[in-house]
Structure formats: C-alpha cells, structure tokens
A and B are shown apart, each in its own frame.
Chain A
Amino acid sequence: MRPLDAKLLRDIWRMRMHAAGIVLVLGCGLAVLIMAVGMRASLEKTRLQYYADKHMADLAVSLVRAPDRLAPVMENAPGVAAVETRISGYALLDLPQVAEPVSARLISLPRQGRPRVNDLALTAGRWPDPAHPEEALVNEAFATALRLRPGSPLDAILHGHRQRLVITGIANSPEFVFVTAPGEMFPQPERFAVIWMGRDALGEAYDMRGAFNDAVIRLAAGADIRAATRAIDDTLTPYGSAGATGRDRMMSDRFLSEELSQLGILASFIPTFFLIVAAFLVNISMGRVIATERANIGLLKAFGYSDLAIAWHYAESALIFGTLGLIAGIAAGTVYGRFIAGMYRQYYHFPNLEFSASLPTLILAAAASFAAAGLGAWNAVARAARLPPAEALAPPQPANYAQGGGLFHGFAEGLDAKSRIILRRIVRFPRRAATTALGIGLAISILIVTQSFPAEMTYMLDVHFGLANRQDVTLTLSEPQEAGVLHDIERLPGVITVEPFRIDGVAFSKDQRRVEEALFGLAEGATLNRLIGRDLSVIAPPTEGVWLSRPLARKLEARAGDDITIEQLRGRRIRATVRVAGIIDPMIGSSAYMSLGNLSSLMREPGRISGAYLRLDPAAYAAFTARLKQTPALMGASFVSLAERSMRKNFNEHMGLMTAIYSSFAAIMAGGVAFSAARVTLAEQERDLATLRVLGFSRLEVSYVLIGEIMVLALLSLPFAVLFGTGMAIWMTHLFSTENFAFPYVFDPAGYAFAISFTLACVLVAALVVRGAVDRLDMVGVLKARD
C-alpha cells in the first residue's frame, strides 16, 4: 500500500462519524431515487409487456346500438389491426355477504376464441362455456376482496331482471389494471366488479341480439390514429356513437400514466434535497480535514508531490463517500422498491409486477452520488491544491477577528464574554456559519414538505366528504328519466332528502378547438352535493349559460361572455350554443356546470335527470339497501360513507407509512447535519474550550459556548427554513396537481411545529453528545501544543 493510501484510510477512519452521516444521507436520497426511477421503469416495462401480450386497445368507443355486420367494415378501416365488438352494460349485484348492492360493469366475450383486443389473463378457473349462459369471469381484485372462487354463485340484476351467475374463473385485463367505479376517484375493490360473460347471454339480457354497443380497436404499428378515429366515427356515428377515444380517455391507463409522472416528480424532487445536503456534509467535513491538514499538505508538497496529486488524494475520500453512499442507497432502494411494488400490487392489477433496478437506474444513481460527493469536496480539494507549501508549513496565526463585525460591535458590548465568543465566530466567518445554518434549514424544510402531505390529504378528504359530497348515497340511472322518478326514489325506505342531478358527455367547441368533457346539471339550492371552489366557497349554478372550469376554459381559449358550441356525445347528439357565464376554480374536476333545468332543456329533455343524491335515515339503512337490491333501471349506487371509510383507511395505511418513511429520512438528514456541525464546531474550538476550562470555567459554562453556537445557527436558520419549506411544499402541490385535481397547499401549524421542534431536538441531542467531549478535553495537552 502506498503511504498516501494508508493515510487516506486513516483520514477516513478519523472522520468516520462524519463519514457515517454523509453515507446515511446520501443513502437515503439514493434510495428514494432508485425506488422512484426503478419503480417507474418497472411499471412502464410491465405495462408495455402486458399491453403487448394482451393486445390492449388503442381506441375505444361506446354507442347506442349497431348491427354486428359493421364489425368487418371497421376492420377494413385504414390503420385498424383488430376490432372486438362487445356488449357492455352496468348492473347491480346482490351478494349475501354485503348489505349494499355492488355495482358491476359487464362486458361480453366473443362467441369463439379469446378476445382479439383487450384479452384477459386468467389467474384461476377456466373460460365460460358459450353453451352455458350463466357462466362468467370476474376481475381478480373483486374476487380477492370478497373471497370469491370458481364455482361461487353471483346474483345480478341485469337490465331489470334478476339472474344467477356462476363464476368459472378469475381474470385480469389490461383494460382494468386500475379499477374504479364510474365517477369514483379511488378504487374500492369490494364495491365494484368487472364481469365478463358470453356474447349471447349478454345479448339476451340487454336485448342486443345481433348488435353491439361497445367496441375496442387495436391499430397497426405506425397507423395514423386520427385517420383511424375518423374512419371509426364515420362508421358508428349514425348508431349513437360517443366518438372513439384514445388511451388518454381510458380510466385505467390514465391513472397509470399519472402515477408514472408522479413517480418522476418524486424521483427528481426528494433525492435532490438529500443530495444537496449530502454535498453540504461533505463540504463541512472535508473543509475541516483540509484545515487540520495544512501542515501535512505543506510537507507533502515540500517532498515533491504535485498540486494535482494532492488534489487527487483528497478527492479520493469524496469518491469513497460516494461509493459507500451508493452501496447503501442501492441496498435501501431495492428494499424500498420491493416494498412499494407490493403496495402497487394492491392497486394495479398486473399479472406480475416486480421491482427491479435497471442498469440505467443504477448508473443514474452512481452519477448522482459522485456528483454530490464531488461537488461537496470541490471547494476543499481546490483549497488543498492551491495551498503554497511555505504557507502550509508556517504555524497558523490566530484567526483574525479584527475584520468585519462592525455592525455587531455595539451589540457585542452588551454580552458576556462567552456569548461574545459565539457572536464573533458567527459574524467573522459568515460563510461557515451560513453553511451550517443552511444544512439545518434544509433538514427542517424537507420535514415541512413531508409533513404537509398528510395535512393536505386530510384537507382534501375533509372538503370532499364534509363540504362537497354530503349525501349518503348517489344513485345513477341507466338512462335519463322524467323527474317523476324522483317520487319513486323518495318512496324508498328511509329516504329523507333527494336532490336530482344530470350529467351529459359533450364536446365543447370554440373556433377550431374541441374538448370532450362532462357537463353537469346542478340543482339550485342544493344542500347535499355542492360544487366547492378552491377557496372553499360554494359555487351555485349559473342562472343563465354555463360555468367553465379554468382548465377547460384555457383549452377552449374561452372567456366569460363568449358563445361556445356544445354537442351531445350520445343518443340524439343535440347541438346547441351557450354563453359562458363565467370561469370558476373548482377544487376537483375540469368540467362545466349549468343549472339542472337549463341543461335538460338544452338537451331537449326538459326535466329529465341522470340520477339523484340521497340523505338517509340511518335507522332504515338495512331496509333501504335491501330494497335497492331489487330495483331495476339503476346503473349504479355509490355509498359515500363506505367510500370515505375506505379512502381514509387506505390513506392512513399507505400515506401514513410513506410519510413515516420520508420523515425518518428527513430525521436522518437533520441528525446528520446537526452532528456534523457540532463536531466541526468542537474541533475548531477545542483549544479555546480547553483554555476556558484551565482558567476555571465549569463544564457547564464551557458547554454553553459549544452548544450555544450551534443552537444560535439553528435558530438563525428558522426563517429561511420556514420560507423555503413552504415554497417547496407549495411547488410540490403544483407538481402533483393534475388537470382535474387541484392539490391544495394547506398550512398546518402542527406540521411546522413538528418539523422545527424535531430538528432543533436533533441538533440539541447532537450537540449534547458532542458536548460529552468537553468532559474529556485534554487540558494539559492543549497547553503543550501550539495548535
């Protein structure tokens, strides 16, 4: 071993406490990086593979009714590789083990062979036999949630008729990787089923013999998606088609894409924090090493080592930190990634989803690690390289405190000598003080950011369920019906309040711009279901015209007072012109809103409604759900309190865990910074502290000088930390906000208090641990040496 190598190892051993802090912080950052980037790549790869294996549709279209003979016409459209026409509908399921009726989506299977588009992956059982119309497949999430097995019976109300189905198999579909009931934001596997049945059986049930009302289309490689869409629409528009849509409008794929982009944000955001702090720690500790090594550096240069050799010698320690951090990060990131993959498997139903950190991921992590370590060491290494040997060998002069500090002169006068020492050190070496304060401030900031997640999620849930959706049940009708249906609903057992609503899928257009969105008809004076703005105000429907949500208005480039065209996407495809009454900022949704009366008149169905919101008498709940199970003509029944309970439970389990993980990472960071800062301060002050002890100052008094400086720096960092943390938290909410989901920033004093007090406690503990060294100060030794 070359002597310099031996020295390098000894140096690192000497700064092992610093090194441990650096490696831990680097490791945390890289773990998040590897998890997020690796998970993103794994998800993307799995999705691609799954879509290819099971022929995921490129286009989907739903319509009123078209004859089977149109299938070959569509197949011949330019760019189309395969078409699967289907019969699709909604139904309620009556399960003995669940009080409330469960909503289900039914989809037909081809008469012969497997679906050529959106094929299924069977996980248990067998395919239904076309000769047995009662046989059905059910999606895995639902089967798992309700412990259904091949052979289990299933009572469904199909198109008003009660029918007993038998499960022959459990399946997953690329179309339903992420499964939510229509209109729900969050999966409730036990509340929503996807059921696949024979074509003839469903044709019988929905009165669709020889016809279809749904088609999924796969395009040839390199096909022109616009041309294909136009061809399909030309064929199907006369049959009440809502227009073919791409994957961006397919729920499951859309959620997957959003998840991928959020992983991307996570991958860039949180690791950056940690890597910056790791660079700080390297900077602090390497700076200290070089300062204590002045004489050695001079000696080595005097012996003939070049500046470059010296620089390399110190750069090597940065490389070692980077390597150790990388190893820690890969180990932790792999464990973390596997854990997250397990969590994802609960929400995303792929045949197999495994986490693997790909080579590019590891290369990226290595680059990040060495960049952070190198950046941190840069200053110190450059200083070592520049140090002239003569100057390095001369004894260091006492640090000159004569410069600077004029501003604080008067202030210092009023202090006792010990506080004056603290003040002077900070004022005289502002960069060093700022580095420490910045490190502590960053630790507080990241805790503020991580603590803001749960506060924001809780806020969202509170607003969603407490202000916006105060109904107990939402009933959705299969088709818009006369308002008279409200009387039938009112007569259901236990119903206290009924509030009608209407929703139409429409295409908005202005000039050349066209956007498909939902148009809501809101009841005037609604008390159950209300549109809530970002400022928590209740937005009443306009008396005249339409409210556009801001994202929709932006896409249409529409302003208040403009006239826009709307076109119904189903049924009679009514076209009309409406005036924009105003632009609103709803908390959730990127839709448009009218009064119920105006909307139904506009659609030339005066008084017809799509469904109703209900408030129930809890005492009559069982009677209500029992009756509902018998009610035909319902497309869905959504139980808001069940949804709320399931969302809160999921949130507590998963968000809580994630927050705990990030908080402990942030705590490691806070501890690392605090410990490094305390040790460096001790190292720099050791001689002065020992002198104070010799002069007769007690341990307590001497500790004050040490701990005081760190605590003052920590306190000085607070304003920065709070501002920066808040800024980051706000920025984060913008990054996580999607088009129809404005993620709010919520000021949560408890979160801030935790972030600040936790970090200050870390700093204090670190300072107290280091303070132990004050007891062991070598008073005799310090008097012998010149420093």
Chain B
Amino acid sequence: MTASFSLRGVNKQYGKGATAVHALSDVSVDIQDGELLMLVGPSGSGKSTLLNILGGLDHATSGEVRFRDALLTAMSDRDLTAYRRRHVGFIFQFYNLIPSLTAHENVDLVREIADNPLSAADALALVGLTGRMDHFPAQLSGGEQQRVAVARAIAKRPAILLCDEPTGALDLQTGAQVLEALSEINRLYKSTTLIITHNADIARMGARVVRFADGRVREIETNATPAKPFELVW
C-alpha cells in the first residue's frame, strides 16, 4: 500500500507568547491510500485542526505534510485551492449546503470543478436520496441534508474524504445511514477517508483509530475486523 498522507513533526500554534495555544504538537503519522481512519479524542485535542490542515484550509506552523508527492506545507493559497478542488471532499457537522440550490444542484455544483465526476443522480442514489433531488435544503431533514453533503463530497470521486463529526447533529438511525454511505464509498472508490467522532462505538468502524490528546497522537489502534455501521450498538 502507498502512503496517501505522511506527516512529520507537524505543529500548529495559535497566538504567541504566554497566551499561545499549541493545537498540534509534533504530530507524525502516515495514512495509507484508501484507508478508513477514525480520529478520536477529547474536545480541544486538535482533531479539527489536523483535518483542516490536511484539507488545505489551514497552514501548519511548522513540520511537513505530504500528499502523495506534493508538499502541502509549501503550497500557496492558490495551489491549496487547486488541491482541494482536485482531490478533497469535505463533510461537516453543519452540512454547509447552499440554501439557494436544490439537492441536485448542490451536488452539481462540485461537478463544475471536477475532472471525472459522478452524475449528481448517481451520487444522490448512493446516499439513497433519489426521490428528493429537486428539494431545497430548507425542505430536507437534517439527516437528508447531511446525505446531500455526502453526495456533494463524493460526486467528484475525491482521493480524500474528510469528515468532521458528520453525525454530530443527527440521531442514531440517521447517523448510521450517513456512515453507511461513507463506508460504502470508501469501499467502492477507495477514497482515503478520515472521520472525526466523539463516539467510541462509531470509532470501531475504522481500520485504524488515531487517539488524540493535548494536540498529540496518544495511540493508534488497529481493528482487524472493522464494524459495519448498522452493527454498531450505540
């Protein structure tokens, strides 16, 4: 297996001097292509910070982040935009759909900037939303909105899928549907998938689980047999 990401001595510091916050301290980790990786840890431990750096939304203060052969930490804003555009799919806790576009159009949006995208209909079919294509976000439930966000993220067949607490605002049943879709995509398209969660059970889904504390990687567990989303008992 080839390494998708490799991180060496990554630091992220907010502020300076006495009030400085070390959001990430000396993080070094390799993530394999096509891997389903779970990020867990207490609030404020640096999970989102890491995800944002990997997604090219934020810069590390020091250290190296490599995506395949490219050094993300050396990229300009413009290059990072191009990187996000080509390779990254995001899913957030609050969906972040464009309210003025229908489900279908929200997915179509990213197809405008992708090389070899899925059709919006296929992407929505993957998350089980074929019947709601022409609804606006305001007409969809939270779970449905999140599944549109998933469809939007996967439509461009991203090499990397970054999910920050994708089920944080959902009930169990709905959350399971979303996770099901994510693992399905990981299986079908071999997208490297990173999911942040506070839920220990959900974490069992991943082949590996990276545990954070105080901005450091505390331990990395390996699951020989990752659980299926619907087997998870919450």
- Decide whether A and B assemble into one complex: yes
**Chain A residues in the interface with B (C-beta under 8 A):** 397-402, 416-417, 420-421, 424-425, 428, 687-688, 691-699, 701, 779-780, 782-787
The reply to whether B98 and A688 form a contact with Cβ atoms under 8 Å apart is yes
Stretch at the interface among B1-9, B123-131, B133-141, B177-185: B133-141
The reply to whether B138 and A425 form a contact with Cβ atoms under 8 Å apart is no
Could you tell me the distance in whole angstroms from the C-beta of B31 to the nearest C-beta in chain A?
20
Q: Is the contact region of chain B dominated by helix, strand, or loop, or is it mixed? A: mixed
Q: Does B101 count as interface, using CB distance less than 8 angstroms?
A: yes
Query: B residues within 8 A CB of A693?
Result: 81
Could you tell me the distance in whole angstroms from the C-beta of B88 to the nearest C-beta in chain A?
7
The reply to whether A783 and B92 form a contact with Cβ atoms under 8 Å apart is yes
A398-B137, A693-B81, A780-B52 as given contacts; A688 in contact with B57, CB under 8 Å: no
The reply to whether B96 and A783 form a contact with Cβ atoms under 8 Å apart is yes
Contact check: which of A399, A780, A786, A787 meets B100 at CB < 8 Å?
A399
User: Smallest CB-CB separation from A415: which chain B residue?
Assistant: B105
Query: A residues within 8 A CB of B55?
Result: 694
Give bound CA distance, A499 to B112, whole Å: 79
Query: A residues within 8 A CB of B97?
Result: 398, 691
Complex A-B: 30 CB contacts under 8 Å = A397-B138, A398-B99, A398-B137, A398-B138, A400-B99, A401-B99, A416-B112, A417-B105, A420-B105, A421-B98, A421-B100, A421-B101, A424-B101, A688-B98, A688-B99, A688-B100, A691-B98, A694-B96, A695-B90, A695-B109, A695-B113, A695-B152, A696-B84, A696-B85, A696-B86, A701-B113, A780-B52, A783-B92, A783-B93, A783-B164
Interface size bracket, B side: 35 or more
Could you tell me the distance in whole angstroms from the C-beta of A733 to the nearest C-beta in chain B?
45
Query: B residues within 8 A CB of A420?
Result: 100-101, 105
Could you tell me the distance in whole angstroms from the C-beta of A248 to the nearest C-beta in chain B?
64
Q: Does B58 count as interface, using CB distance less than 8 angstroms?
A: yes
B residues 130-159 touching A (CB-CB < 8 Å): 135-139, 152
Q: Does B67 count as interface, using CB distance less than 8 angstroms?
A: no
The reply to whether A401 and B57 form a contact with Cβ atoms under 8 Å apart is no
The reply to whether A694 and B90 form a contact with Cβ atoms under 8 Å apart is yes
The reply to whether B101 and A399 form a contact with Cβ atoms under 8 Å apart is no
Query: B residues within 8 A CB of A786?
Result: 94
Give bound CA distance, A416 to B48, whole Å: 32
Give bound CA distance, A47 to B228, whole Å: 96
User: Smallest CB-CB separation from B111: which chain A residue?
Assistant: A417
Q: Does B170 count as interface, using CB distance less than 8 angstroms?
A: no
Query: A residues within 8 A CB of B48?
Result: 784
Q: Is the contact region of chain A dominated by helix, strand, or loop, or is it mixed? A: helix
Given contacts A402-B138, A425-B100, 5 further A-B contacts (CB under 8 A): A417-B108, A420-B100, A691-B97, A691-B98, A783-B57
Q: Does B110 count as interface, using CB distance less than 8 angstroms?
A: yes
User: Smallest CB-CB separation from A701: which chain B residue?
Assistant: B113
The reply to whether B113 and A687 form a contact with Cβ atoms under 8 Å apart is no
Give bound CA distance, A439 to B98, whole Å: 27
B residues 70-127 touching A (CB-CB < 8 Å): 78, 81-82, 84-86, 88, 90, 92-94, 96-101, 105, 108-110, 112-113
Query: A residues within 8 A CB of B84?
Result: 694-696
The reply to whether A697 and B113 form a contact with Cβ atoms under 8 Å apart is yes
Could you tell me the distance in whole angstroms from the C-beta of A607 to the nearest C-beta in chain B?
85
Could you tell me the distance in whole angstroms from the C-beta of B166 to the nearest C-beta in chain A?
12
The reply to whether A780 and B138 form a contact with Cβ atoms under 8 Å apart is no
A416-B112, A417-B108, A695-B109 as given contacts; A399 in contact with B138, CB under 8 Å: yes
Give bound CA distance, A205 to B67, whole Å: 110
Give bound CA distance, A402 to B55, whole Å: 32
The reply to whether B136 and A402 form a contact with Cβ atoms under 8 Å apart is yes
Contact check: which of A401, A425, A696 meets B81 at CB < 8 Å?
A696
The reply to whether A400 and B100 form a contact with Cβ atoms under 8 Å apart is no
What total of A-B pairs shows CB separation below 8 Å?
A: 91
Query: B residues within 8 A CB of A695?
Result: 84-85, 90, 109-110, 113, 152
User: Smallest CB-CB separation from B90: which chain A residue?
Assistant: A694
Could you tell me the distance in whole angstroms from the C-beta of A660 to the nearest C-beta in chain B?
43
A398-B137, A402-B138 as given contacts; A424 in contact with B100, CB under 8 Å: yes
Could you tell me the distance in whole angstroms from the C-beta of B144 to the nearest C-beta in chain A?
12
Could you tell me the distance in whole angstroms from the C-beta of B177 to the nearest C-beta in chain A?
20
Give bound CA distance, A425 to B52, whole Å: 30
User: Smallest CB-CB separation from A687: which chain B residue?
Assistant: B96
User: Smallest CB-CB separation from B113: which chain A residue?
Assistant: A696
B residues 152-205 touching A (CB-CB < 8 Å): 152, 164
Closest 8 pairs (CB-CB, A-B): A696-B85, A400-B138, A398-B99, A696-B84, A424-B100, A417-B109, A401-B136, A691-B96
The reply to whether B100 and A696 form a contact with Cβ atoms under 8 Å apart is no
Could you tell me the distance in whole angstroms from the C-beta of B79 to the nearest C-beta in chain A?
11
Query: B residues within 8 A CB of A424?
Result: 100-101
Give bound CA distance, A87 to B139, whole Å: 93
Could you tell me the distance in whole angstroms from the C-beta of B195 to the nearest C-beta in chain A?
15
User: Smallest CB-CB separation from B56: which chain A residue?
Assistant: A696
Contact check: which of A694, A699, A787 meets B57 at CB < 8 Å?
A694
User: Smallest CB-CB separation from A426: which chain B residue?
Assistant: B100
Contact check: which of B57, B85, B135 meets A780 at CB < 8 Å?
B57
User: Smallest CB-CB separation from A422: which chain B residue?
Assistant: B100
Query: B residues within 8 A CB of A782?
Result: 96
Give bound CA distance, A786 to B93, whole Å: 9
Query: B residues within 8 A CB of A398?
Result: 97, 99, 136-138
A400-B136, A400-B139, A695-B110 as given contacts; A428 in contact with B88, CB under 8 Å: no
User: Smallest CB-CB separation from A783: which chain B residue?
Assistant: B92
Query: A residues within 8 A CB of B112?
Result: 416-417
Query: B residues within 8 A CB of A696?
Result: 81-82, 84-86, 88, 110, 113
Contact check: which of A402, A428, A779 meets B139 at CB < 8 Å?
A402
The reply to whether A401 and B138 form a contact with Cβ atoms under 8 Å apart is yes
User: Smallest CB-CB separation from A688: which chain B residue?
Assistant: B98
Query: A residues within 8 A CB of B58?
Result: 780
Could you tell me the distance in whole angstroms from the C-beta of B42 to the nearest C-beta in chain A?
17
Query: A residues within 8 A CB of B109?
Result: 417, 692, 695
Give bound CA distance, A782 to B86, whole Å: 22
Give bound CA distance, A555 to B57, whole Å: 80
Give bound CA distance, A784 to B165, whole Å: 11
Give bound CA distance, A779 to B52, whole Å: 10
Could you tell me the distance in whole angstroms from the C-beta of B121 to the nearest C-beta in chain A?
15
Query: A residues within 8 A CB of B139?
Result: 400, 402
Give bound CA distance, A425 to B96, whole Å: 17
Give bound CA distance, A694 to B80, whole Å: 10
Q: Count chain B CB atoms within 10 A of each CB in A420, A687, A786 and give the residue with the most.
A: A420
The reply to whether A428 and B52 form a contact with Cβ atoms under 8 Å apart is no
Query: A residues within 8 A CB of B152?
Result: 695
Could you tell me the distance in whole angstroms from the C-beta of A696 to the nearest C-beta in chain B?
3
Give bound CA distance, A785 to B169, whole Å: 12
Query: A residues within 8 A CB of B100?
Result: 399, 401, 420-421, 424-425, 428, 688
User: Smallest CB-CB separation from B85: which chain A residue?
Assistant: A696
User: Smallest CB-CB separation from A409: which chain B residue?
Assistant: B134
User: Smallest CB-CB separation from A782: which chain B residue?
Assistant: B96
- CB-CB contacts of B31-67 with A at 8 A, as 1s and 0s? 0000000000000000010001001011000000000
Give bound CA distance, A208 to B92, whole Å: 105
User: Smallest CB-CB separation from B156: which chain A residue?
Assistant: A696
Query: B residues within 8 A CB of A692?
Result: 98, 109
Query: A residues within 8 A CB of B78?
Result: 698
Give bound CA distance, A397 to B95, whole Å: 13
Could you tell me the distance in whole angstroms from the C-beta of B56 to the nearest C-beta in chain A?
9
Could you tell me the distance in whole angstroms from the C-beta of B136 to the nearest C-beta in chain A?
4
Could you tell me the distance in whole angstroms from the C-beta of A16 to the nearest C-beta in chain B?
27
Q: Count chain B CB atoms within 10 A of each CB in A428, A695, A698 and give the residue with the most.
A: A695
Give bound CA distance, A456 to B60, whole Å: 65
User: Smallest CB-CB separation from B97: which chain A residue?
Assistant: A398
